[in-house]
Amino acid sequence: MRRLAHSTRVTGGWGDHLFRLLIRAAALILLVIVLGLVIVMIRAAFPSIRAFGWSFLFTSRWDPVAEKFGALPLIYGTIVSSVLALLIAVPLGIGAAVYLSEVAPPWISPPISFLIELLAAVPSVVYGLWGIFILAPWLRTQVQPALGATLGFLPLFQGPPYGVGMLAAGLILAIMVVPFIIAVSREVLLAVPNAQREAALALGATRWETTRLAVLRYARSGLMGAVLLGLGRSLGETMAVTMVIGNRPEISASLFAPGYTMASMIANEFAEATSDLYLSALIEVGLLLFVVTVIVNALARLLVWSVGGAVKAVRE
């Protein structure tokens, strides 16, 4: 046996000290990167901020020739396409997760989980291509005429069926975020202690009542986290959305109409931004996207805290 005195390990004070320094540096670097990013973006966006002030946020004209820039349609397009995506993806994703964790026979879960991971690994440009060649034509020839004929009295479903537009963007985003929502929700539901299910069952709850009473309520803060992850992804998604949203900076009540998102605008127009003010306006759009993401995440955190407090007391 090796004697302690001859051990080659670095023990005692300074090994720990070094380790602490390293991990502290790692944490600080993250902070520095975020702060640096914000500072650089603000500086680069400053000409645009000075030229347009608050009107950048509240006007809709995006005219590179006249050098007049207003980002309202982009903010609108980003938020509406993401909300639309969540409206579709959340019920679908949480429903599938409930099926996998509460109802499905044990053998069915692994293959489905594998397929879900596969779905999450598809590059977004592939979703975009699929959107252009399959989803958009299908919407144009089948879905939008049918919606217009039946629900056309709603402003949401009026106007010519282009195929590409807000509806296509929302759908493609929904398909892209659903795997994330399923994967996270499933983990969250599986983490609900069995004692909770048994408590409800022993009270005479049916399977659905047990899911509602014991499982979904217990897991609600975690499910919120799953939804937020989906929202975060859809707000920032660029490629697939750019390919199907139509890229027109306009605000329209109809989901059939083309729109534009902040991320698509930056991706599309960066190469053409010849004047300094144009470039600066694009960077300000990037800054806005950052701010919107931060606000959404902060609101989400608040929401999670307000409903999650009670659960922690029992989760040992």
Partner 1 sequence: MADGILVKQLNAWFGALHVLRDIDLTIAPGAVTAIIGPSGCGKSTFIRCLNRMHEVVPEARAQGQVLLNGEDLYGPRVDPVQVRRRVGMVFQKPNPFPTMSVFDNVAAGLRLDGVRNHALLDEAVEHALHQAALWGEVKDVLGKSGASLSGGQQQRLCIARALAVRPEVLLMDEPCSALDPIATAKIEELIVQLKKALTIVIVTHNMQQAARVSEATAFFLLGELVEFDKTTRIFTNPSDRRTEDYITGRFG
Which positions lie near partner 1, rule CB under 8 A? Answer: 106, 193, 195-206, 209, 213-214, 217-218, 220, 307, 310-311, 313-315
Cα–Cα nearest to 57, from 81, 78, 36 = 78
CA distances from 1 to 4, 5, 6, 220 (A): 9, 12, 11, 54
The distance of closest approach from Cβ of residue 67 to partner 1 in the complex, given in angstroms and rounded to an integer, is 55
The distance of closest approach from Cβ of residue 160 to partner 1 in the complex, given in angstroms and rounded to an integer, is 48
Paired with 259 in beta bridges are 246
By C-beta, is 176 or 224 nearer to partner 1?
224
By C-beta, is 50 or 315 nearer to partner 1?
315
By C-beta, is 110 or 160 nearer to partner 1?
110
At 279, which amino acid appears?
L
The distance of closest approach from Cβ of residue 167 to partner 1 in the complex, given in angstroms and rounded to an integer, is 36
By C-beta, is 29 or 203 nearer to partner 1?
203
By C-beta, is 129 or 190 nearer to partner 1?
190
The distance of closest approach from Cβ of residue 314 to partner 1 in the complex, given in angstroms and rounded to an integer, is 4
CA distances from 128 to 74, 241, 245, 269 (A): 19, 7, 10, 18
By C-beta, is 94 or 177 nearer to partner 1?
94
Alpha helices by DSSP H, listed for the chain, are 13-52, 55-58, 72-98, 109-121, 124-130, 136-138, 144-151, 166-190, 194-202, 207-210, 217-218, 220-236, 239-244, 262-269, 276-312
Give every CB contact of residue 269 below 8 A, 6+ residues apart in sequence.
64, 278, 282
CA distances from 65 to 69, 88, 315 (A): 10, 38, 59
* Count of CB atoms situated within 10 Å of the CB of 162: 17
The distance of closest approach from Cβ of residue 229 to partner 1 in the complex, given in angstroms and rounded to an integer, is 21
The distance of closest approach from Cβ of residue 312 to partner 1 in the complex, given in angstroms and rounded to an integer, is 8
